[in-house]
Amino acid sequence: MTAETAEPTDRLPALQAGDGDRLVNTHVSPWLGPLAMVTTQDLALPLWFREIQVEGRGCLPPAGPVLLAPTHKARWDALLLPHAAGRRVTGRDCRFMVTLDEMRGLQGWLLRRLGCFAVNQARPTLASLRHAVDLLARGEQLVVFPEGRIRREGPGALRLHQGLARLAALAASRGVAVPVLPVGIAYSHALPRPCGRAAVVIGEPMWITTPGRDGALAFTRELAAAMAAQETRACALIAAGAHRSPH
3-state secondary structure 4-44: CCCCCHHHCCCCCCCCCCCCCCCCCCCCHHHHHHHHHHHHH
| Least confident range of 21-25, 68-72, 73-77, 135-139 | 21-25
Measured CA to CA, the distance from residue 57 to residue 54 in angstroms comes to: 7
3-state secondary structure of 236: helix
pLDDT above 80 for 113: yes
What is the mean pLDDT of the segment spanning 28-49? Answer: 95
What Å distances lie between residue 215 and 55, 69, 194, 222, 237, CA to CA? 29, 17, 42, 11, 33
Tens digit of each residue's pLDDT (9 = 90 or more) over 176-192: 999 999 999 999 999 99
pTM: 0.87
Give the pLDDT band of residue 32 (cuts 50, 70, 90): very high
Q: Which fold has domain 9-244?
A: Glycerol-3-phosphate (1)-acyltransferase (3.40.1130)
pLDDT above 60 for 11: no
